[in-house]
Amino acid sequence: MAAQTGAEKGTKKIGNYFKGVRAELRKVSWPSKKELINYTIVVLVICTIISLAVWLIDSGLHQILKLIIR
């Protein structure tokens, strides 16, 4: 039996890695199209709410600092 070279060992490790990735992806519970749309809407709404909250806080602090600096 011939000894494996470093390249052959590396190729075998990479192949095993991708086989493992494929096996794990089969176990994933993927959302349906309807669930995906609902999750996307929730994320967009929450991002909008947080953006507005940060904008309001920033505007308020800006106004306070303008009063202090004057």
* Per-domain residue ranges of the chain: 6-69
The pLDDT of residue 30 is 92
Q: What distance, in Å, lies between the first and last C-alpha atoms of the chain?
A: 86
CB-CB contact of 15 with 22 (8 Å): no
**The dihedral sign for the CA sequence 15, 17, 23, 25:** negative
Q: How many CB atoms lie within 10 A of CB 15?
A: 10
The pLDDT of residue 11 is 83
Mean pLDDT by 10 residues, the chain (70 residues): 65 91 94 97 98 98 94
